[in-house]
């Protein structure tokens, strides 16, 4: 019987997994995961996502075993691992999902070369995004750089097939090769366990991803969470987002599954699908402009005179900026491995404009600390807040951190949840403790500069400094 190696990495699921589906129809299936960070170029998986993977892998192995299969893990360079596995299993085919990051594209090419050398069959399937970046272009034959026409073109010209069902059984080889799964899980598990708080907020794995999706689209009263999405998505004090992003990042649920689940005519459903299209836009840009992971898409933005201020960067990372709403978001990131999207815009804009620190520093921090770290989304998001990317915010848009808190966390529930030293203050004072009467601060046990930091920057002066710095982008 023909035997196929099916390679997994950021696609840890059985539902809507084309390589697995077609391999099972062909014959014996050997699911494989090769862990070798050197294959990921300058962006190996960050610490928070490695902690997630340590939780997800045993769950994925368990679902495979329920179907008579298992996950074979090797921790060495891909070429070496594949050569071993082909010899050990006698496999004559290699199937996997196409990759879109710069390092992933290089790895795909190397694997195809290797397969040709060995004379084995290969199939590379689409399944990580909805569209083919090489097929979607403007009327002039150029990549899209503006979101709205891109989204319209994708919807008009891309047919998204329905998701494939989970295989009930997976034909197994007569003998299984050795697996290094347990050793990898041990290596990925943080020590000490700084990730402990993550698992109060998250449960990794495909079952959890599908349950979360079902809860989001299922009715709660007269409307689903999806139908309420347009009203509540910008409120970090509410559970208004889908919280599917970590599952999508590790491929525990497919983008096609989510896309089809979100069909409908409500404004919430439309807005949510637009966010999925924004993710597609991020991948479109990354495919066509791979250098943007570290370089501005608009070359003139390389002239911004960024500051070298490690103390300010450290205060930002630790949530000690003195601006409570921002500090709550940054501490949420550290405590749970995730930050609400609206808050990401605020803390990102604060870093690059009020602190005038390089967006690349923020991108690296998010990459290491987010459980939903995604190179395409991360790159587009940071270029957007900086103003240096496609369809980006105008350079003169400088979000006021106090107004952001007042607008999106008016009762300070979000802020006080993650900045406990301000919990005894009234909401309006918790958002702006510098305006609180001395007696109110004293009764709440707050001593500015001691129990909670002073603001590290004057907002008005920092805005003027940013605008002056950004003028460099307009000169020859």
Average pLDDT on 171-196 reads 97
Gap between the terminal Cα atoms of the chain: 66
- Asked if residue 250 and residue 109 are part of one domain, the reply reads no
- Integer CA distances (angstroms), 206 to 11, 210, 250, 369, in order: 10, 6, 10, 22
Q: Which residue has the tokens 């599954």?
A: 257
Which of 239, 254, 288 terminates a domain? The answer is 288
The CATH number of whichever domain residue 271 belongs to comes to 1.25.40.80
Answer yes or no: do 462 and 328 share one domain: yes
Residue 155 belongs to some domain of the structure: yes
d(CA 459, CA 349): 12
Cβ-contact 399, 349 below 8 angstroms:
yes
The answer on pLDDT for 85 being more than 50 is yes
Shared domain check, 138 and 112: no
Domain presence at residue 294: no
Give a yes or no: residue 381 inside a domain: yes
Mean pLDDT computed over 423-437 = 97
pLDDT in tens, 8-33: 999 999 999 999 999 999 999 999 99
If one counts the domains in the chain, the total is 3
Is the previous residue joined to 294 through a cis bond, with omega within 30 degrees of 0? no
Reported confidence tier of residue 373, pLDDT bands at 50, 70, 90: very high
CA-CA distance, 21 to 454, in Å (whole number)?
57
Query: How much is the pLDDT for 476?
Result: 46
Task: Classify 142 as helix, strand or coil.
Answer: coil
Average pLDDT over residues 229-253: 94
Q: How many CB atoms lie within 10 A of CB 27?
A: 15
> What radius of gyration do the chain's Cα atoms show?
24
Statement to judge: residues 307 and 447 lie in one domain: yes
Query: Which residues, at least 6 apart from 175, have a Cβ–Cβ distance to it below 8 Å?
Result: none
- d(CA 405, CA 428) in angstroms, rounded, equals 10
Q: Which residues are catalytic?
A: 275, 278, 306, 341, 359, 382
In order of 42, 45, 66, 144, 341, the CA distances from 243 in angstroms are 27, 20, 27, 28, 10
Q: Which of 242, 266, 288 is the last residue of a domain?
A: 288
**125 pairs with which residues across the strands?**
97
Q: What is the pLDDT of residue 220?
A: 62
Distance of alpha carbon 67 from alpha carbon 110, whole angstroms = 31
Residue 239 lies in a domain: yes
Asked whether residue 372 is assigned to any structural domain, the reply reads yes
Q: Is the dihedral of CA 330, 336, 337, 340 positive or negative?
A: negative
Which of 104, 127, 150 is where one domain is finished?
127
Q: Are residues 322 and 419 in the same domain?
A: yes
Mean pLDDT within 218-237: 83
- Same domain (yes/no): 19, 51: yes
Strand arrangement of the beta sheet that strand 3-8 belongs to: 72-74, 28-34, 3-8, 93-97, 121-125
The CATH number assigned to the domain holding 18 equals: 3.40.50.620
Task: With respect to residue 197, please indicate whether it lies within any of the assigned structural domains.
Answer: no
402-417 tens-digit pLDDT: 999 999 999 999 999 9
The Cα 374–Cα 285 span in angstroms is: 13
Residue 222 pLDDT: 63
Domain boundaries, position 373: 299-471
Give the relative orientation of helices 324-336 and 310-318 as an angle to the nearest 10 degrees.
Answer: 70
Same domain, 123 and 271: no
Same-domain status, 254 and 366: no
SS3 of residue 34 by DSSP? strand
SS3 15: coil
Q: Examine residue 327 and state whether it is found in any structural domain, yes or no.
A: yes
Average pLDDT over residues 179-183: 98
Lowest mean pLDDT among 203-217, 225-239, 415-429: 225-239
Dihedral (Cα; 275, 277, 281, 283), 10-degree rounding: 90
| Contact status, residue 325 vs residue 404, Cβ threshold 8 Å | yes
Kindly state whether residues 249 and 265 are assigned to the same domain.
yes
> Does 250 share its domain with 323?
no
pLDDT of residue 397: 82
Do 444 and 337 belong together in one domain? yes
Q: What is the mean pLDDT of residues 32-38?
A: 96
Residues 354 and 224 in one domain: no
Tell me if 109 is assigned to some domain. yes
Asked if 121 and 92 touch (Cβ cutoff 8 Å), the reply is yes
CB 325 within 8 Å of CB 409:
yes
Residue 314: CATH number of its domain? 1.10.579.10
């Amino acid at each position: 019987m023909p035997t196929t190696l099916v390679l997994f990495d950021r696609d840890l699921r059985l539902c809507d997994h084309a390589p697995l589906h077609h391999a099972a129809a062909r014959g014996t299936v050997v699911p494989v995961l090769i862990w070798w960070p050197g294959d990921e170029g300058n962006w190996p998986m960050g610490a928070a996502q490695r902690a997630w993977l340590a939780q997800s892998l045993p769950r994925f192995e368990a679902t495979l075993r329920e179907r008579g299969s298992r996950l074979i893990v090797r921790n060495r360079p891909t070429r070496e691992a594949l050569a071993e596995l082909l010899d050990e299993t006698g496999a004559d085919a290699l199937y996997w999902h196409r990759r879109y990051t710069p390092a992933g594209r290089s790895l795909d090419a190397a694997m195809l070369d290797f397969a040709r050398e060995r004379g084995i069959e290969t199939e590379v399937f689409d399944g990580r995004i909805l569209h083919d970046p090489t097929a979607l272009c403007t009327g002039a034959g150029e990549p899209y750089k503006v979101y709205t026409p891109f989204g319209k073109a994708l919807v008009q010209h891309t047919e998204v097939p329905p998701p494939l069902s989970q295989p009930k059984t997976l034909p197994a080889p007569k003998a299984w090769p050795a697996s290094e799964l347990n050793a990898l899980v041990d290596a990925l598990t943080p020590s000490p366990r700084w990730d402990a708080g993550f698992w109060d907020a998250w449960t990794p794995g495909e079952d959890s991803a599908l349950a979360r999706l079902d809860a989001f689209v299922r009715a709660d009263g007269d409307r689903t969470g999806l139908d309420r999405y347009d009203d509540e998505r910008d409120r970090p004090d509410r559970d208004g987002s889908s919280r599917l992003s970590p599952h999508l990042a590790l491929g525990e649920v497919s983008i096609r599954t989510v896309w089809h689940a979100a069909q409908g005519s409500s404004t919430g459903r439309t807005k949510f699908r637009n966010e999925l299209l924004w993710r597609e836009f991020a991948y479109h840009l990354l495919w066509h402009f791979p250098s943007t992971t570290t370089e501005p898409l608009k070359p003139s933005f390389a002239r911004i005179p960024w500051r070298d201020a490690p103390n300010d960067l450290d205060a930002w990372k630790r949530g000690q900026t003195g601006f409570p709403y921002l500090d709550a978001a940054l501490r949420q990131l550290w405590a749970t491995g995730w930050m609400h999207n609206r808050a990401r815009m605020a803390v990102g804009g604060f870093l690059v404009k009020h602190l005038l620190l390089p967006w690349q520093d923020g991108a690296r921090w998010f990459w290491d600390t987010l459980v939903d770290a995604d190179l395409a989304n991360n790159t587009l998001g940071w270029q957007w807040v900086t103003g240096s990317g496609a369809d980006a915010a105008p350079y003169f848009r400088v979000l006021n951190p106090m107004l952001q808190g007042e607008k999106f966390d008016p009762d300070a529930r979000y802020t006080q949840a993650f900045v406990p030293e301000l919990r005894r203050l009234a909401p309006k004072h918790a958002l702006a403790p510098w305006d609180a009467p001395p007696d109110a601060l004293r009764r709440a046990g707050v001593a500015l500069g001691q129990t909670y930091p002073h603001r590290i920057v004057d907002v008005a002066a920092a805005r003027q400094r940013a605008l002056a710095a950004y003028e460099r982008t307009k000169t020859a």
